[in-house]
Structure 1
Amino acid sequence: MNSGLSEREFIIACSQRFSALLRGKKAFLLAASALLLVSCATTPPKSLVTPLPTVTPPPVKPALPSGAESVRGVWLTTVSRLDWPPVASVTASPASRIRQQQQALTEKLDNLKRLGINTVFFQVKPDGTALWRSKILPWSDTLTGRIGDDPGYDPLQFMLDEAHRRGMKVHAWFNPYRVSTNIKPGTVRELSNTLTLHPASVYVLHRDWIRTASDRFVLDPGIPDARDWITSIVAEVVSHYQVDGVQFDDYFYTETARSALDDNATFRHYGQGFASKADWRRHNTQLLIEQVSRTIKQIRPEVAFGVSPAGVWRNLSHDPAGSDTRGAAAYDEAYADTRRWVQMGLLDYIAPQLYWPFARQAARYDVLARWWADVVRPTPVRLYIGVALYKVGEPSKSEPDWAIQGGVPELKKQLDLNDALPQISGTILFREGYLNQPQTQEAVSYLQQRWGHAGG
């Protein structure tokens, strides 16, 4: 992805907002150094870009209710049928397809129950399609092979019934802006063919909202009507299904140097008053979070709303309130000011993806886990940590610890730290399909020993 601000733009923006503190790059570095010298003080360093809000945060749930168990979760991915449904089921007869898909899901839930998993983050909106009976989105082609075809049952309702029967919670996981996973001619043709369906794809109903980024069709986050449309989708699920939570993943603004999101016209139309397009983009992302959060609480206050962002908010080299890391930053690359969302109380929980081992100097697991613990400490927002199950047991030159003794020592260290820090309320594994891979079996056995007894 492209970085959000060039160095020059960043300095100019900071100078305009904090002219008394900053006078260009030299002053920025001096300020950062000074704050580093007092890092042992009880008061955390103040960010140069997102000071603590002066407004009183709205009430949200406590970090972990007394007597409540920690989240032992897993992401169950449906995009490209990565975890579910079975690829072979798509071409089967309707009756056989339903039987295969439902059987596969119940077997997965039985396995998760044995492992002690108590929360499933189920991907119900992998792109511009739905895995529930929606009046806004067409049925997902992951189920039948063709967008809009009725699968003959409601996968979200089936998941809720089966998971709740096993004493497990379900969070509906949405990718808010993605419309398709590619821009191939066949995909364009299939999206265009939905025009006669009810509902049709957003690709044909609101073509003016669609942009290309990262070689995918996406919605332009700067268009207010597009944000309203996303909010209406979440509202539909929360209103009609007994989900325990709603989660957005880290795909807000997504682009690559080769395939950037061209929102220049949108910025000219809606971006008046912003010092830079980057600031405006972050504003747009926050508006979506605010409005979805407010909508969920109006419909069903008990439903938890969370986001799973990239693990690095900002690096210390760019902001004295950032983490001592050198990774891609959500603030600068996805235009998601996740730290501020926590401070403002817009979320019930945040689940940063800390997909690195303790020994990865550019983004140490323990450094980031402690940084996030400090972020949520003064707030009621719960903190769950996303762990890289997909790396466990895999040889890696840059991260060799994942392959030592099947990755068990590294996994144990991460879970031990999560349990030791009182601000961390749980762990989520990415992703379910890797529980069944040969290279993870030592780690899976360890998880069953550690968590299985807690699963009942």
Structure 2
Amino acid sequence: MAAIIGGSLLLPSHSAASTESRLIPENTVHLKEELRAAWMASVLNIDWPSKPGLPIETQKEEFIRYLDEQKAMGMNAVVMQIKPTADAFYPSEYGLWSEYLTGVQGKDPGYNPLSFMVEEAHKRNMEFHAWFNPYRITMSLGKPAELSDLGKLNKDHPARKNPEWVIPYGQQLYFDPGHPEVQQFVIDGIVEVVKQYDIDAVHMDDYFYPYKIAGVPFPDQASYQKYGMSQFSNVEDWRRNNVNNLVKDINQAIKTEKPYVKFGISPFGVWRNKSVDPTGSDTQAGQTNYDDLYADTRTWINNGYIDYIAPQLYWNIGLPVADYAKLLDWWTQEVKGKNVHLYIGQATYKINTVSNGVQNWFNPEEMPNQIKLNRTYNEFDGSMHFSGKDLRKNPLGITDRLTADLYKNPALVPPMTWIDNMAPLAPKVSQAEQHADGIKLKIESHNHTDTSYYAIYRFEGKKRGSIEDANNLIATVRNENRNQVFMDKTAEKEGTYTYAVTALDRTHNESKPSRPIHVKEK
């Protein structure tokens, strides 16, 4: 049980490698480097577009509003689902236009949503993570799925053209993860996007082999006999190997095309239960990544198949069957010393709801305490919130809390030094002048092509403080031209300030600061 001590929440450490207790700080501790993102689901029009068939301008206005809201609450990345069901939010050789755009699968929406979304995210200096679902062909068909359901798909649908790739399971159709041509098809479809669009990362979530249906085995025996039985004595190891190879090959294909594009996965929050494997987490999850979804996250982390992992820790602190605090501690040990960032999937959608029969999510401090606890670990690199529409609803004031407290200060996306560790040259701030609407800075880049954006630091008085102090970072601004202008509208008009600016590349390596410059009165 947790204990309250001195206004802070004291939690026992659950790591075998550590016996110290962890204290949730009473006051918010800000990190200078922290990925902050929201998932934007397009499947079933969960987040965007709000419904199919909207006019182009309405679709664009909806997405821009989301980005503006998220930027205002301190986010620096967006995770957008661009291939929800073997379809596409862009013209593709590997999928038809998504029905969630127009209401009709295969119908051209009249513009390229992916190009538009990437451009708008970068205007706001937010990373764009392109979210793919590799195997799902349909959502619920309302009845047990059959191969004959392929006839309901567009005649040009890749699944209809390749019925030997398809497996019905439950009420859905899936591409067979064990079919070599399916694996290559998935890889090629991702590389198409990496080649043609200026994305920052490729993202997958927890849908690999489908969640098990009680008493219904996944019907891939024919594929196992054809492709796996000669090498694997059981179907479970073969399935894990299929997923491992897919993850490894996707990463290699991305890096071959564009080494700076990151690859991350957001798996279910439990790898294995301790009752099954002593190195697993102290949880009682009904299904797990390793044993049921065949997603061996440990192998991906240990072998460098991914650049980040974002486990979906969708439980509250202290929940007996899956304690957020225990799982957070377990995942930090998994990534310790590895070339992989740990982002935590935050269950914003559960706030102000009853979950697992308990009312912990009625506590307005549940999510703030989770974020505060995250920040006590050196291995923690950021959070991803599910989802955009839930942040918009502001349950129990969480969005207000992010904006005014937890994400009050902007943050830089942490660099991945194993991808690139060469920082740009320091920029020059040639002018800092007081104007009626704020303080205007003129920034000159020494190497325009190496600089993706600038970080703006402001210090009170006539001396420059530390750029490592998160409280001194006031903004980031995209590098749009060699002589960039930034207007600081948050400074007090009568104040005395010193500014310094750093240049960052697209993998977030930060230069040394510019020479400090004082405000000049006009």
TM-score, structure 2 length as denominator?
0.70
Going from structure 1 to structure 2, the CA distance change for 1:260 and 1:139 (only over 3 Å counts) comes to farther
Task: Specify the code of the residue in structure 1 equivalent to 2:130.
Answer: A
CA distance 1:448–1:346, change in 2 (3 Å): same
- Please state if 1:351 is matched with 2:306: no
Q: Which amino acid aligns with 2:125?
A: G
Instruction: Pick the aligned partner of 1:291 from 240, 249, 271.
Output: 249
Instruction: Measure how far apart 1:320 and its partner are.
Output: 1.3
Q: Indicate which of 100, 104, 114 corresponds to 2:62.
A: 104
Q: How far is 1:441 from its partner? A: 4.6
User: 1 CA distance for matches of 2:142 and 2:329?
Assistant: 43
Mapped partners of 1:190, 1:333: distance in 2 = 26
Residue aligning to 1:443: 398
- Residue of structure 1 equivalent to 2:467: none
Distance 1:193 1:413, change over 3 A: closer
Secondary structure, aligned partner of 1:426:
strand
CA spacing shift, 1:148–1:244, aligned 2, 3 Å? same
CA-CA distance at 1:259 after TM superposition: 4.9
Supply the AA of the counterpart residue of 1:373: T
**1:361 matched residue in structure 2:** 320
The answer to whether the 8 A contact 1:245-1:303 is kept is yes
Q: What is the CA-CA distance between 1:264 and the residue it aligns to?
A: 0.7
Q: How far apart are 1:435 and its partner, in Å?
A: 1.4
Q: What residue number does 1:419 align with?
A: 375
- How far is 1:201 from its partner? 1.1
Supply the distance in 2 between the matched residues of 1:317 and 1:274 (Cα, whole angstroms): 25
Q: Deviations over 1:304-348 (max 9, x none)?
A: 101110000011111111111111210011011111110011110
Deviation of 1:275 after TM superposition, in Å, equals 2.1
The CA distance in 2 between the partners of 1:344 and 1:324, in whole Å, is: 24
Tell me the alpha carbon deviations over residues 323-379 of structure 1, each in whole angstroms, 9 at most, x when there is no partner. 111112100110111111100111100000000011211111111111111110021
Equivalent AA in structure 2 for residue 442 of structure 1: G
Aligned to 1:326: 284
Structure-to-structure mapping, 1:181-260, within 5 angstroms? 181-183=139-141, 192=152, 194-195=154-155, 200-254=156-210, 255-257=212-214, 259-260=216-217
Using the TM superposition, give the Cα deviation of residue 260 of structure 1 relative to its aligned residue in structure 2, in angstroms.
3.9
Within 1, Cα distance between the matches of 2:324 and 2:203?
22
Are the aligned partners of 2:93 and 2:189 in contact in 1 as well (CA < 8 Å)?
Answer: no
Q: How does 1:58-73 map to 2 (within 5 A)?
A: 69-73=33-37
Q: Which residue of 2 aligns with 1:6?
A: none
Match of 1:77 among 18, 27, 41: 41
State the 1:396 CA deviation: 4.1
Contact 1:214 1:256 (C-alpha < 8 Å) held by counterparts = yes
How far apart, CA to CA, are the structure 1 residues paired with 2:302 and 2:149?
A: 44
Q: Secondary structure at the match of 2:138?
A: coil
| d(CA) in 2 for partners of 1:370, 1:139 | 42
- Look at both structures and tell me which one has the larger radius of gyration over its CA atoms: 2
Task: Give the superposition deviation at 1:86.
Answer: 1.9
Q: What secondary structure sits across from 1:454 in the alignment?
A: coil
**TM-score of the aligned structures, taking structure 1 as reference length:** 0.80
Equivalent pairs counted in the alignment come to 381
Aligned-pair distance for 1:300?
0.5
1:270 alignment partner in structure 2 = 227
- Return the offset for 1:452: 3.7
Of Structure 1 and Structure 2, which has the larger fraction of its residues in helix?
A: 1
Do 1:396 and 1:403's aligned partners in 2 also have CA atoms closer than 8 Å?
no
Residues 235-244 or 202-211, more deviating: 202-211
CA deviation after TM superposition for structure 1 residue 397, in Å: 6.2
Tell me how far apart the structure 1 counterparts of residues 127 and 83 of structure 2 sit (CA, whole Å). 18
User: Which whole-Å CA distance do the structure 2 matches of 1:417 and 1:41 have between them?
Assistant: 16
Instruction: Give a deviation string over 1:169-215, Cα, whole Å, max 9, x none.
Output: 110001110011023599977864522xxxx2122111111111231
Gap regions ≥5 residues in structure 1: 1-37, 43-66
Measured after TM superposition, the shift of residue 258 of structure 1 is 5.6
Gaps of 5+ in 2: 1-14, 20-30, 412-474, 476-522
Amino acid at match of 1:244: D
| Structure with greater contact order relative to length (CA < 8 Å, sep ≥ 6) | 1
Matched letter for residue 48 of structure 2: W
Q: In the TM superposition, what is the alpha-carbon distance from 1:443 to its structure 2 partner?
A: 1.2
Q: Alignment partner of 2:87: what SS?
A: coil
Give the 3-state SS of the residue equivalent to 1:453 in structure 2. coil
More displaced 10-residue stretch of structure 1: 227-236 or 272-281 = 272-281
Once the two structures are TM-superposed, the CA of residue 39 in structure 1 deviates from its matched residue by 3.9
Seen in structure 2, the aligned counterparts of structure 1 residues 259 and 202 have a Cα distance that, compared at 3 Å, is farther
Q: Percent identity?
A: 36
Match of 2:80 among 122, 136, 143: 122
Structure-1 separation of matches of 2:264 and 2:35: 13
Q: Deviations over 1:208-266 (max 9, x none)?
A: 11111231110110001100000000000000000000011111110312654200111
Question: Does the CA-based 8 Å contact 2:137-2:174 persist in structure 1?
Answer: yes
| Aligned equivalent of 1:431, options 342, 365, 387 | 387
- C-alpha distance in structure 2 between counterparts of 1:208 and 1:363, whole Å: 39
